């Protein structure tokens, strides 16, 4: 099969690596890809939202399957674009159509979905510019901290957690009236604060059947001890030690099953990955958010633990035969540590030469923001590369990742040395 992966991060490198290892794969393309994907696939320099160029590529290279990495093209309707095009209709796309991608594209849509299907989540109300005063009154009925969420996609920055009522009222106004997050904050969801520890659950579905991938936990803050600004993710571990089989049962029965059944009941076709952001409150799982894709850097620990042939799994998703698949998972723990550019998640420089990756032993280097420039590998983003390792437990795996990370150098390189500190 000829396969195209859309995206350019560590997630796409991890997915592409699994696909490249399948005997079913003939040619593998990644668009636009990075220096890591260039070593296992053919990179094609087109953007993930350039549907016209994607069509040309799919037809020119007789692509048999498209895997969509990031949410953006899904929310913009790339799957619908294929279904509505006579030439592309027969090419399966892994990733939901636009209507279901709203689970990530609109927080209000996601909350209404959870309410309709009795899926445990934080209590909420949503407000617009017209109902700002009601929003202020609602905030007065809540206990701090106050959770304000821009309804739309805001590059991971649209959630504010505030201790002070007056500050919360001010932020609500600036989101609704002054477009703090542009059109994304024309509607704001105000939510009950949930106090607990977070984890992520990844589900594969063909729209009817589902399989649960290993759990993972990522570390979002830039600073050690979970301090400082939010990032895309500074590292991850899998499995999550506190997600024992009893807790996983609850997640499956109360959240995964009703989610997949709810999509079907609501007539929302879904072939793809569902990333369920969860929080463990006491002993109970509650949903914080849905994403309609895999997580990054969680994919860099989840995919390496998958022993099954990923292409077979993706084909079963596209064909509606996921019930016939038995997912084989590596029992070992996996961890990944992300190295980022100095200054990230604020302003940072690009184009710094990366050295030492060839000295890494018994770990996998997944490229994120990298590119090839005059035969050298250089930085090309905030999150640069992730070092993934296995171990009997997450501590052993982390030690391995940290040892190998010391062999890699680039100007301004930074990574957190405290992953797993909270477990």
Residues forming the site for ligand GLY (CB under 6 A): 218, 233, 291, 295-296, 298
Among 31, 54, 100, 147, binds ligand AMP (CB under 6 A): 147
Where in 273-302 is the site for ligand AMP (CB under 6 A)?
Answer: 277, 288-289
Q: Which of 41, 40, 48, 38 is nearest to 7 (CA)?
A: 48
Shortest CB 158 distance to ligand AMP, Å = 7
Q: Is 151 in the site for ligand AMP (CB under 6 A)?
A: no
Residue whose CB is less far from ligand AMP, 193 or 242? 193
Shortest CB 359 distance to ligand AMP, Å = 35
Structure tokens given for 232: 């895309």
Q: Is 150 in the site for ligand AMP (CB under 6 A)?
A: no
Question: Which of ligand AMP, ligand GLY, none sits in contact with 111, Cβ below 5 to 8 A by type?
Answer: none
Contact 348, 369 (CB under 8 A): no
Question: Which of ligand GLY, ligand AMP, none sits in contact with 291, Cβ below 5 to 8 A by type?
Answer: ligand GLY
d(CA 349, CA 408): 18
Question: Which of ligand GLY, ligand AMP, none sits in contact with 300, Cβ below 5 to 8 A by type?
Answer: none
Instruction: Mark residues 104-123: x for contact with ligand AMP by CB under 6 A, - for none.
Output: ------------------x-
What lies within 8 Å, CB to CB, of 421 at 6+ separation is 224, 225
Residue whose CB is less far from ligand AMP, 227 or 361? 227
Q: Is 71 in the site for ligand AMP (CB under 6 A)?
A: no
Within 10 A of 93 (CB to CB), how many other CB atoms are there?
25
Contact 370, 407 (CB under 8 A): no
Shortest CB 294 distance to ligand GLY, Å = 7
From the DSSP assignment, how many helices (H) and strands (E) are in the chain?
Answer: 13, 22
Structure tokens given for 103: 């689970």
H runs (alpha helix) in 177-321: 245-251, 257-265, 299-305, 310-319
Q: Is 159 in the site for ligand AMP (CB under 6 A)?
A: yes
Shortest CB 352 distance to ligand AMP, Å = 29
The strand ranges marked E within 166-315 are: 187-191, 197-205, 210-212, 217-218, 221-223, 227-230, 235-238, 272-281, 284-291
Q: From the centroid of its chain, how far is CA 117?
A: 23
Shortest CB 58 distance to ligand GLY, Å = 26
Question: Which of ligand GLY, ligand AMP, none sits in contact with 159, Cβ below 5 to 8 A by type?
Answer: ligand AMP
Residue whose CB is less far from ligand GLY, 1 or 159? 159
How open is the CA angle 71-280-111, to the nearest 5 degrees?
45
The strand ranges marked E within 8-112 are: 27-32, 42-43, 65-68, 93-94
Q: Is 190 in the site for ligand AMP (CB under 6 A)?
A: no
Shortest CB 154 distance to ligand AMP, Å = 9
Residue whose CB is less far from ligand GLY, 84 or 230? 230
Contact 357, 385 (CB under 8 A): yes
Q: Is the backbone peptide bond immediately before 145 cis, with ω within 30 degrees of 0? A: yes
Contact 335, 394 (CB under 8 A): yes
H runs (alpha helix) in 284-419: 299-305, 310-319, 394-405
Question: Which of ligand AMP, ligand GLY, none sits in contact with 345, Cβ below 5 to 8 A by type?
Answer: none
Shortest CB 275 distance to ligand GLY, Å = 7
Residue whose CB is less far from ligand AMP, 96 or 295? 295
- In the chain, what is the straight-line distance between the N-terminal and C-terminal CA atoms, in Å? 42
Question: Which of ligand AMP, ligand GLY, none sits in contact with 104, Cβ below 5 to 8 A by type?
Answer: none
Residue whose CB is less far from ligand GLY, 202 or 390? 202
d(CA 105, CA 184): 9
Question: Which of ligand GLY, ligand AMP, none sits in contact with 69, Cβ below 5 to 8 A by type?
Answer: none
Q: Is 193 in the site for ligand AMP (CB under 6 A)?
A: yes
User: Is the Cα torsion angle 35, 39, 41, 44 positive or negative in sign?
Assistant: positive
Note the residues at the interface with ligand AMP (CB under 6 A).
Answer: 122, 147, 149, 159, 191, 193-194, 198, 277, 288-289
């Amino acid at each position: 099969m000829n396969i195209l992966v859309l995206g350019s991060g560590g997630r796409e490198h991890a997915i592409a690596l699994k696909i490249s290892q399948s005997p079913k794969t003939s040619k593998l393309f990644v668009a636009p890809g990075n220096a890591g994907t260039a070593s296992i696939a053919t990179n094609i320099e087109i953007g993930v939202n350039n549907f016209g160029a994607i069509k040309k590529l799919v037809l020119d290279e007789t692509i048999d399957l498209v895997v969509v990495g990031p949410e953006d093209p899904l929310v913009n309707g790339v799957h619908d674009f294929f279904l509505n095009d006579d030439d592309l209709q027969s090419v399966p796309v892994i990733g939901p159509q636009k209507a279901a991608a709203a689970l990530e594209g609109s927080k209000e849509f996601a909350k209404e979905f959870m309410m309709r299907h009795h899926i445990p989540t934080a209590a909420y109300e949503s407000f617009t510019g017209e109902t700002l005063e009601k929003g202020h009154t609602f905030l007065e009925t809540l206990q701090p901290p106050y959770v304000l969420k821009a309804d739309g996609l805001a590059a991971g920055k649209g959630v504010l957690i505030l201790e002070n009522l007056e500050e919360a009222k001010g932020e609500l106004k600036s989101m609704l009236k002054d477009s703090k997050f542009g059109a994304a904050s024309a509607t704001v969801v105000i939510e009950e604060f949930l106090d607990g520890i977070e984890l992520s659950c990844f589900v594969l579905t063909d729209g009817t059947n589902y399989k649960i991938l290993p759990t993972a936990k990522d570390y979002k803050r830039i600073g050690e001890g979970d301090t400082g600004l939010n990032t895309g993710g500074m590292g991850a571990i899998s499995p999550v030690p506190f997600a024992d089989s009893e807790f996983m049962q609850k997640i499956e029965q109360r959240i995964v099953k009703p989610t997949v059944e709810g999509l079907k009941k609501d007539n929302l076709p879904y072939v793809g990955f569902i990333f369920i952001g969860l929080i463990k409150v006491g002993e109970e799982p509650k949903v914080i958010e849905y994403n309609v894709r895999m997580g990054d850097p969680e994919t860099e620990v989840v995919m390496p633990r998958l022993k099954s042939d990923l292409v077979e799994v993706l084909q079963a998703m596209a064909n509606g035969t996921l019930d016939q698949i038995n997912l084989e998972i590596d029992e070992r723990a996996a961890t990944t540590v992300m190295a980022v550019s100095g200054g990230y998640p604020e302003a940072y420089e690009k184009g710094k030469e990366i050295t030492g990756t060839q000295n890494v032993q018994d770990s996998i280097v997944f490229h994120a923001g990298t590119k090839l420039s005059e035969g050298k590998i250089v930085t090309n983003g905030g999150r640069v590369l992730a070092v993934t390792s296995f171990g009997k437990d997450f501590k052993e795996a982390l030690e391995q990742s940290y040892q190998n990370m010391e062999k890699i150098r680039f100007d301004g390189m930074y990574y957190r040395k405290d992953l797993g500190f909270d477990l």
